[in-house]
Amino acid sequence: MPVGAFPGAVRVAAIAFAAIAATPLRPAADPAPARAGLPQSSLAVWTGKTWREWWRSDEAPGRWRGPHNAVADAVRWRASADGVEWGELRLAGTGEARRLRAVVVRIDPRVVRLRLDTAFTAGGERAAWTVDDARPDAIMAVNVGQFVRTLPWGWVVLDGHQFLAPGSGPLATAVAVDSSGTVRWIGPDSLKDANVRRGVAAAFQSYPTLLTADGEIPAPLREPGRGIDVEHRDARLGLGALPDGRLLVVLTRFDALGESLGSIPFGPTIPEFAALMGALGAKQAVALDGGISGQLLIRDAEGAHTWRGLRKVPMALVVTRKQ
Amino acid sequence: MSYAYSISARTLSRGGIAVAVVAFLAVPFYGAHAQLGGLVKKAKDRVVEQQVANQVEKRVNSAASAPGAPPKFDDVTVELTNDRVSQVIRGLSAGRAVLDGANGSPSRATLIAQRDDAARQSADLSQKNAKAFEAYSEKRDASQRCRNDAIHFSREKRQQANDQRTKELQAKAMSDPAFREKAVAMAQKMAVAQQKGDTAEVHRLMIELNGGAPESDNVDSLAADKACGGALAQPAAMVQSQKLDAQANKLTEAIRQLEEQAAETEVKESKLTERQYQMARERIEAYLSAMKYNSQPRGFSAGELQALGARRADLEKVM
């Protein structure tokens, strides 16, 4: 029924009701249970008009059930290719994180092809991959996993063959892609089961887990003294899963003088970064190697957009078009 | 705010007030206080939000005025003084010695050479025997398809036979009082045996009731073997190639373990905590990277730049 069909006050009330109904919900997050307390900090997002504070350490949610509208709406998405879109948002935090930019990428694994590329120097003595080495047909490339010196930490499967055995740790998450392109997220305990590792075309492990399968922030990220440094600030990189099956990549950059200082490893704490992943809609997420390693490439009609790191890494997740 | 915007805002505001008033009148009276309270709370929230926004703005602008300033030094990010740079160099040197085989194990270079050799031999075998490998894969796939079909057929056939046998037993139980009595008696015995946990007796009674031993578990596999032949033997070169791949993987793991040992040694010899060492190492890498590409290292204090500059050559040697 058109709105004009309502007479007088009833019509106005209907408009008011419709307006209320159309107003997006505020944070779709559960409050965290009482705890020892994270260090005092907050995060604000630039909405395009003003700074809007959306997260505080003393009111940090323990679980994310959906995106935070102020954060999600702050991203202006641009299509890079079929199945890949990206955008940026400005964040203001505490201390060294008072001026940040986050590059956000959404990838639909049903539409694109995911693969892992590795690179080492000729003698195998150093990791050698940078975004500048990404294959020419890559529409997105990002460093993945963690590494000690040259070889990636934890489980690595390349082209269907196990290259490195699984690592263990309570906050380790494995991301596996099967031959059909389906992405699976595997927790540390499940990886012991050989059946879980079967049929995998490419896989890597990383840590710490930022959001568990149901959007919950792991306990060690909610309070100090449980094995995760909840205070340290660094540039961050993370991979998440959206409820519709798409992947979410988020890279934070120091934003004091545009991208010229982008690779300086100033950024959010791990709990703040977990909140950012949740606020952007991830239901599951894991941190990748950030700091001076974090690097990302996106190719679109305008050409290549690169966010370089200061360190060469052994392995990257590369997205190409399906043949 | 421009004049035009201001007029428009006022117009909107009047319109908004009119809507709010009519909406207010349209809602039941008992909700009015709550509505008014909500409006006041919203106005207060807006003021608080604006204050927060102003504070954030101030913070953001202060960051722009001092870009690349050193980080806040704390328990993890320690200032890289002359002494600490020396500690990191000591750690890195000790780690490098481990990689070079100082602890008695083969050096990383040796392991890498062995690993690459195994991988190369495997690749050579695969290349030289590509046709044989392909033929084997095709045969194996065809055999697998045949076996799947044979197993399915055998299972279906047995199921049909079982269904038929059950029907016959049911019919016999209806028409043969002696058999019915026997079946009831055996069912009672089975229940007793089951309660005692005597699985052997249950099994024996079931055989007796069915009038014969059940088929063996691998009857379907045997049927598949009969229809399609047994498992295909892999070409010798393929077996050898797989062995070499397994050897290469083992060596890769050994390289990783050696690197982990080296990393642990670095931390231990540096006399810094693990977190302090990793952070110091990462910051030194950032410094060296900036120097390599002739750009200004950012995020360091003047003292740190001096200390790092003095030992740059040593750092490049061991990093």
Say whether pLDDT at A64 is over 70: yes
B285:A311 CB<8 A: yes
Collect all residues with Cβ–Cβ distance below 8 Å to B31 and sequence separation of at least 6. none
B281: confidence class by pLDDT, cuts 50, 70, 90: very high
- Say how far apart CA A240 and CA B34 lie, in whole Å: 41
Write the Ramachandran bin of A318: left for phi over 0, alpha for psi from -120 to 50, otherwise beta: beta
Selected for mutation to probe chain B from A10, A12, A89 (highest B CB count within 10 Å) is A12
A257:B249 CB<8 A: no
Across residues A299-323, what is the average pLDDT? Answer: 94
- Say how far apart CA B300 and CA B81 lie, in whole Å: 11
The one-character DSSP state at A174 is: E
A145: confidence class by pLDDT, cuts 50, 70, 90: very high
The per-residue pLDDT for A31 is 60
Chain A residue numbers with beta carbons less than 8 Å from the beta carbon of B26 are 9-10, 12-13, 16
Say whether pLDDT at A294 is over 90: yes
Closest alpha carbon within chain A to B108? A125
**A213 at B interface, C-beta within 8 A:** no
Quickly list DSSP for A40-102: S-EEEEE-SSSEEEEEEGGG-EEEESS--HHHHHT---EEEETTEEEEEEEEE-SGGGSSEEE
Nearest CB among B25, B63, B99 relative to A9 is that of B25
The per-residue pLDDT for B12 is 41
Nearest CB among B115, B252, B298 relative to A261 is that of B298
What is the C-alpha R_g of chain A?
A: 21
Collect all residues with Cβ–Cβ distance below 8 Å to A110 and sequence separation of at least 6. A83, A181, A245
Phi, psi of B128 (to 5 degrees): -65, -30
- A276, two tokens: 């950012």
- Which of these, A152, A189, A146, A198, lies nearest to A170 by C-alpha position? A189
Question: Dihedral of the CA atoms B106, B107, B108, B111 (nearest 10)?
Answer: -30
Closest alpha carbon within chain B to A258? B64
- In chain B, which among 81-100 make CB contacts under 8 A with chain A? 99
Collect all residues with Cβ–Cβ distance below 8 Å to B192 and sequence separation of at least 6. none
Across residues A150-157, what is the average pLDDT? Answer: 94
B19:A229 CB<8 A: no
- B193, two tokens: 């045996």
Closest alpha carbon within chain B to A153? B256
Task: Dump pLDDT digits (tens) for B122-163.
Answer: 999 999 999 999 999 999 999 999 999 999 999 898 888 888
The per-residue pLDDT for B15 is 44
Pairing of strands A200-206, A156-158: antiparallel
Give the range among A137-151, A213-227, B100-114, B208-222 with minimum mean pLDDT: B208-222
Give percent of chain B above pLDDT 70: 82
Across residues A132-158, what is the average pLDDT? Answer: 95
Query: Both ends of chain A: CA-CA distance in Å?
Result: 48
Listed by start position, the domains of chain B span: 3-65, 70-107+250-319
Across residues A69-79, what is the average pLDDT? Answer: 96
Q: Which amino acid is at B38?
A: G
- Which of these, A315, A246, A256, lies nearest to A281 by C-alpha position? A246
Say whether pLDDT at B48 is over 90: no
Q: Which residue has the higher pLDDT, A247 or A20?
A: A247
B14: confidence class by pLDDT, cuts 50, 70, 90: very low
Say whether pLDDT at A27 is over 50: no
**B281 at A interface, C-beta within 8 A:** no
Task: Dump pLDDT digits (tens) for B165-188.
Answer: 888 888 888 888 888 888 888 888
Mean per-residue pLDDT of chain B: 83
The per-residue pLDDT for A2 is 36
- Which of these, A274, A167, A300, A153, lies nearest to A212 by C-alpha position? A274
Pairing of strands A156-158, A161-164: antiparallel
Peptide bond preceding B235: is omega within 30 degrees of 0, i.e. cis? no
Task: Give CA separation, B188 vs A92, A312, B10, B113, B214, in Å.
Answer: 77, 74, 91, 71, 21
Highest mean pLDDT among A253-257, B18-22, B270-274, B289-293: B270-274
- Which of these, A299, A229, A265, A267, lies nearest to A38 by C-alpha position? A229
A52:B289 CB<8 A: no
Give the range among B19-28, B131-140, B234-243, B307-316 with minimum mean pLDDT: B19-28
- A145, two tokens: 């996993």
B91: confidence class by pLDDT, cuts 50, 70, 90: very high
SS3 string of B76-105? CCCCCCHHHHHHHHHHHHHHHHHHCCCCCC
Quickly count: other Cβ atoms within 10 Å of residue B24's Cβ: 17
Chain CA centroid to CA A166, Å: 22
Collect all residues with Cβ–Cβ distance below 8 Å to A200 and sequence separation of at least 6. A157, A160, A176, A177, A178, A184
Give the range among A78-92, A99-113, A250-264, A284-298 with minimum mean pLDDT: A250-264
Name beta bridge partners: A176: A184, A203
The per-residue pLDDT for A138 is 97
Say whether pLDDT at A298 is over 70: yes
B57: confidence class by pLDDT, cuts 50, 70, 90: confident
Give percent of chain B above pLDDT 90: 45
Collect all residues with Cβ–Cβ distance below 8 Å to B305 and sequence separation of at least 6. B287, B297
B216: confidence class by pLDDT, cuts 50, 70, 90: low
> Nearest-CA distance from A46 to chain B in Å?
9
Listed by start position, the domains of chain A span: 27-321
**A9 at B interface, C-beta within 8 A:** yes
Collect all residues with Cβ–Cβ distance below 8 Å to A10 and sequence separation of at least 6. B26
Across residues B264-271, what is the average pLDDT? Answer: 96
> Nearest-CA distance from A83 to chain B in Å?
34
Selected for mutation to probe chain B from A162, A168, A234, A266 (highest B CB count within 10 Å) is A266
B6: confidence class by pLDDT, cuts 50, 70, 90: very low
- Say how far apart CA A284 and CA A102 lie, in whole Å: 18
SS3 string of B150-169? HHHHHHHHHHHHHHHHHHHH
